[in-house]
Amino acid sequence: MVHRAYGIAVLLLVLVPSSQAYRMRTAALLDALYNRSEEDGGMKAPQEITYTELCSPSQMAQHCKALRALYKAAPGRFLRSADGVTHFRLHEPAEGKGHAKLAILSHGVGTNMEVYDGPITQKLLTAGFRVLQYDFYAHGWSWANKANGKKEEPGHYVRYDKEMFLEQARTLLNHVLTPGETVGLWVGHSTGGLLGALAVTELGRPIDKLALVSPALWANKPFLAKAGDMLPSFIWHQISKPRSVTRHAYLKNCDLAFAQKDGAYLYPEKKATACQKTKKMLHDHPQVVEGILGITRYFLRAKLLKGFRKETQEMLAKDSSPHMCLLWGEYDVAVPFKNAATVVEWGGIKSNHSSTGHVTLVPLAAGHESLSEIPNEIANDIVKCVSAFKTSG
């Protein structure tokens, strides 16, 4: 496999031109948006900006035009910080607004906060939560400022590591919560689920409960991502440079992410709709390919995931660990369902639908993209599961 990857890398080095022009355009966009320079010392404190402020610089017009074509409109608000601009929505319950606990919804790589639109958000609001949705940097309407983590690295992907993930969530929560206020519930799918597990000990703010859907503690990756695990940085830079390579790998992963039984998809119409939407996003979104590449390289590498599993196991072994509702598709091959039993064991219980330990496993008749396949069932399962646990404080 390594020899094959090196062969592809050499071929790409010969055939693929440099993306210097793209990097220059990106730098111009960032200079216009953030008004940064070496002399002024960089970004000021995080601040909320309007849609007009986001899109008014002339260099950002095409960026916003492309996103409007994909998403019609930006439904939420914008928070500017050193790492970029976070697009978010904060929903308030009809009753108990003043004392309701917050549920933060964190999506997976290559998607955006709209995967939680509809039943999941509505069920949580009905259950009395304030609900916070947000887009990862370089996803949805959020913009990443870190196209170049180090000067010697190329700028065709976002250096999206654990610290960047945690800082984005930390900055956003600091903006909408009071100092020291508890996060009532962290709902996370795939990469967002992994992030939720890490946030328990590294966010710097207490989290009462977790509802993790197929958390990406393991990953069955396409070839491009496996190459990223094995290869030195300079080879990875060249392999990952053509956007078409990333699009192809991610679309192949889309085919595998939906539940199949006896060679047939369980939800064929939802699969077809989701993959067509993904194809358009990969082609038209100004930054999402760069975001996927950066997350694959700096957050979902096999060596890093091994360390994240150890952190999660140690977190769940503590008496102070928050209760975790673990929802996992039985037909999930992207993050294989067989690994759910390991997480349950870390939490100190041995059987499904038991709430005597830290973890409750809720098997789903779905694949990895269960939020697209059975959103109503997941919404009901989350509310039922978290309601079974006493709230701390």
- Going from N- to C-terminal start, the domains of the chain cover 2-387
Secondary structure, 3-state, 349-388: CCCCCCCCCCEEEEEECCCCCHHHHCHHHHHHHHHHHHHC
pLDDT at residue 151, rounded to an integer: 40
Q: pLDDT value at position 157?
A: 63
Q: How confident is the model at residue 37 (pLDDT cuts 50, 70, 90)?
A: very low
Q: How far is CA 17 from CA 20, 150, 354, in A?
A: 9, 21, 56
pLDDT computed for residue 235 by the predictor? 47
d(CA 64, CA 203): 31
Tens digits of residue pLDDT in 112-147: 999 999 999 999 999 999 999 999 999 999 999 854
Report the alpha-carbon distance of residue 262 to residue 41 in Å, rounded: 59
| Residue 32: both structure tokens together | 């216009």
Q: Is 203 helix (H, G, I), strand (E, B) or coil?
A: coil
- Residue 74: per-residue pLDDT: 87
Which ranges in the chain belong to alpha helices (H)? 2-15, 20-34, 51-55, 61-71, 119-126, 162-176, 191-202, 223-230, 233-239, 243-256, 268-284, 288-298, 302-316, 340-346, 370-373, 375-387
| Closest by Cα among 85, 88, 87, 89 to 43 | 85
Which ranges in 140-287 belong to alpha helices (H)?
162-176, 191-202, 223-230, 233-239, 243-256, 268-284
Asked whether residue 53 carries a pLDDT value surpassing 50, the answer given is: yes
Q: SS3 for 213?
A: strand
d(CA 187, CA 192): 8
Task: Kindly state the percentage of the chain with pLDDT values over 90.
Answer: 61
pLDDT higher for 37 or 111? 111
Does residue 94 contact residue 178 with C-beta atoms inside 8 Å? Answer: no
Q: What is the pLDDT of residues 215-248, one digit of tens each?
A: 999 988 654 455 555 555 544 455 455 566 667 7
pLDDT the model gives residue 224:
45
How far is 351 from 359, CA to CA, in rounded Å?
10
Pick from 29-43, 129-143, 164-178, 301-315: least confident: 29-43
Mean of the per-residue pLDDT values for the chain?
Answer: 82
Q: Is the pLDDT reported for residue 98 higher than 90?
A: no
Inform me whether the pLDDT recorded for 338 exceeds 70. Answer: yes
Amino acid code (one letter) for 26:
T
Closest CA to 197 of 215, 173, 177: 215
Give the mean model confidence (pLDDT) for residues 36-43: 43
Write out pLDDT tens, residues 242-254.
Answer: 566 667 777 888 8
The tokens describing 131, both together, are 């609900």
Quick one: pLDDT at residue 237?
Answer: 55
According to the model, what pLDDT value does residue 57 have? 78
N-terminal to C-terminal alpha carbon distance within the chain: 52
- Please state which CATH number belongs to domain 2-387: 3.40.50.1820
Cα(157)–Cα(150) distance, integer angstroms? 12
Residue 87 reports pLDDT greater than 50:
yes
Q: Is 315 exposed, middle or buried (0-12, 13-18, 19+ CB in 10 A)?
A: buried
> What was the pLDDT predicted at 76?
94
